[in-house]
Structure 1
Amino acid sequence: MKIKATIEQLPGGMMMVPLACGALIATFAPHAGPFFGSFTNALFTGALPILAVFYVCMGSTISAHSLPIIVRRGGALMAAKIALGILTGTILGHFLGSRPVTSGWFAGLSTLAVVAAINDTNGGLYMALMRRYGSAQDAASYAVMALESGPFLTMVTLGVAGLSAFPWQTMLGAILPLCVGMLLGNLDPEMRSFLGQGAPVMIPFFAFALGTTLDLHLVWTAGALGLGLGLATLAGSALVLMTVDRLIGGNGTAGIAAATTAGNAAAVPMLVAAANPEYAAAAKSATVLVAASVVVTSLLAPPLTAWWYARVRRGRSE
């Protein structure tokens, strides 16, 4: 049976399928974890420690030697995404604060959901698109953009937007596993190889644990809103990042390819809420909305990137 190949045919499949399985169990058998107890219950409730290991493994793949070469392009795209997140967070925060909308068409929408969807790029998809439509430097620039991963920049964005303050220990703790991984991976190539292989393995496990915190009734309710968030994230990010990419000498293709939401971003609302209980009310619906944005942007970014690349090539040949 080709289970892995089948799952990977879906956008963000290794993230979305286990998350959906966890959500199904949480919806129709909510007491399954405590019923079995022991390691089974630990898996149902262990998203945070699994994510800590994941960020150590992922950090080990970021090479310090590659940063000077690619910092201009990757840094510019990352800075543009952060700036967009801060701007959006400031505007929404003025109207919504830290809590979600409680009624109407936009019920469940929160500043946390929008900022988390914008801040983190789908690195695997970006590199795959750049290998097809860009240059080696474009693909390598994700080594800088990988610093977006995790809740750190979302916390920074929310803080800059004036919505809340996080203790410095919490801020440092959010990025410390990634930094430890970077240190180990750069000190020892064998550690980089060893730890780097573990990052993809962690994804379905923390996705499942994250899914067990979700009620699928929320998914049904937030369906259209999640679609709208994904479309708005792709359109807004693509416009800003394409402009920045062209200003630094690119043709805009890398900017469009980076206008996605990473699968890991679905875990960010829960991590932010763990650091600051003020966001607990927004975290569950935000997780669902961000997960929807992952799927929407992953589906639409490839054809949009291909269309723009073909348009650029036609313009050069004329």
Structure 2
Amino acid sequence: MRIKATLEKIPGGMMIIPLFLGALLKTFVPSFINIGSFSTALMTGAFPILAVYFVCVGSTISLQATPYIIKKGGSLFLAKIFSAALVGYLVGKLIPGGMLFGISALAFMAAMNDTNGGLYMALMQQFGTAEDVAAYSLQSIESGPFLTMVTLGVTGLAQFPLIAFIAAILPLVIGMILGNLDEDLRDFLGKAVPVLVPFFAFALGTGLDFNNIIKAGFRGILLGILVVTITGCALFITDKITGGTGVTGLAAASTAGNAVAVPAAIAAIDPAYKAVASAATVQVSTSVIVTAILVPIVTAWWAKRVSKA
């Protein structure tokens, strides 16, 4: 059986399918989750697994970058974060109830803050340069809940104590330190990143009701379209301003699979977001799939126009 190959054919499959399997278990056989011992720990231990995951992700972030990589990666990074903060502020502060089309500010920020690195690098290998591929080394800092915490704090949508910021980013920083001190450690820890994804995705899924997934899924499709549209415009303009053709910017207008874990992580720190965390998790997971389909289409279309010009 080619289970792994089949999962990889689905956009974000290693994240989405285990998440849905966990939700099915929670919906139809909830008592099984509390069977006990290691089995229950595996099915409910999303946060310990995520902590290890962020250490491993951090180890892959290199502190060495050429001026072009700093310029390109840094500008795209700032454009993505700024657009997420702006949309989050407008939704959370100016719209009654803090919802736009049933999508919370938390869902918008989580989906917009984090770029699908694998998708971006695959598109840049086809339509960009080696330097454009390497520019993701700066964008990879988006991984995890830290930047969403920052944007929520800056926009006044939440207040986190300093220790909460430190606690959220510490695993990532530890990984960065280890990976940059020892390349062998970077290689060792980096290999664990894709392995941990289905495990924390399944554990997150066991906290979701499948009935809510159906309700939130349609809004997730809209969220994915808005992510491509809003961040795509911001990134396209930024890329053009910094001397690019716009192709690199469009390739970064996606939602990363690990963004699915952000709403739950934020809700664990700020209980005010617990009410919307489950729906946001589903919406962000749907956005992962939608953006993984739309971004290559839009990027290829624009790259073809640029090549003709």
% identical equivalent positions: 53
Please give the alpha-carbon distance, in whole angstroms, between the structure 2 residues aligned to 1:281 and 1:96: 17
1:181-235 deviations in Å (ceiling 9; x for gaps): 1100111111111101011101010010011111111111122211111101111
Give the stretch that moved more between structures: 61-70 or 165-174.
61-70
Contact 1:63 1:143 (8 Å CA) reproduced: yes
Are 1:277 and 2:271 matched, yes or no? yes
Report the counterpart of residue 49 of structure 1 in structure 2: 48
Report the counterpart of residue 114 of structure 1 in structure 2: 108
User: Shift of residue 68 of structure 1?
Assistant: 4.9
Are 1:313 and 2:307 matched, yes or no? yes
**What letter is aligned with 2:49?**
I
User: Shift of residue 95 of structure 1?
Assistant: 3.6
Structure 2 counterparts to residues 281-292 of structure 1, below 5 A: 281-292=275-286
Please give the alpha-carbon distance, in whole angstroms, between the structure 2 residues aligned to 1:89 and 1:275: 18
**What letter is aligned with 2:199?**
F
Q: 1:47 to 1:61 in 2, by over 3 A?
A: same
- The two structures have a TM-score, normalised by structure 1, of 0.94
- The two structures have a TM-score, normalised by structure 2, of 0.97
Are 1:302 and 2:301 matched, yes or no? no
Report the counterpart of residue 39 of structure 1 in structure 2: 38
Give 1:178's match in structure 2, choosing from 169, 172, 175: 172
Report the counterpart of residue 132 of structure 1 in structure 2: 126
Report the counterpart of residue 9 of structure 1 in structure 2: 9
1:42-86 deviations in Å (ceiling 9; x for gaps): 011111110110111111111112365511111100100111011
**What letter is aligned with 1:313?**
S
Q: 1:100 to 1:209 in 2, by over 3 A?
A: farther
Contact 2:60 2:186 (8 Å CA) reproduced: yes
Structure 2 counterparts to residues 1-318 of structure 1, below 5 A: 1-34=1-34, 36-66=35-65, 68-95=67-94, 101=99, 106-107=101-102, 109-315=103-309
Please give the alpha-carbon distance, in whole angstroms, between the structure 2 residues aligned to 1:257 and 1:87: 21
Please give the alpha-carbon distance, in whole angstroms, between the structure 1 residues aligned to 2:192 and 2:216: 33
Structure 1 gaps of 5+ residues are none
Give the alignment's Cα RMSD to 1 decimal: 1.4
Contact 2:92 2:98 (8 Å CA) reproduced: no
Please give the alpha-carbon distance, in whole angstroms, between the structure 2 residues aligned to 1:222 and 1:42: 27
Query: Runs of at least 4 residues of structure 1 off by over 4 A?
Result: none
Structure 2 gaps of 5+ residues are none
Contact 1:96 1:110 (8 Å CA) reproduced: no
Contact 1:100 1:282 (8 Å CA) reproduced: no
Please give the alpha-carbon distance, in whole angstroms, between the structure 2 residues aligned to 1:208 and 1:112: 21
Please give the alpha-carbon distance, in whole angstroms, between the structure 1 residues aligned to 2:269 and 2:29: 28
Structure 1 counterpart SS, 2:160: coil
Structure 2 counterpart SS, 1:249: coil
User: Shift of residue 94 of structure 1?
Assistant: 1.1
1:252-294 deviations in Å (ceiling 9; x for gaps): 1111110000010011000000111111111001001111111
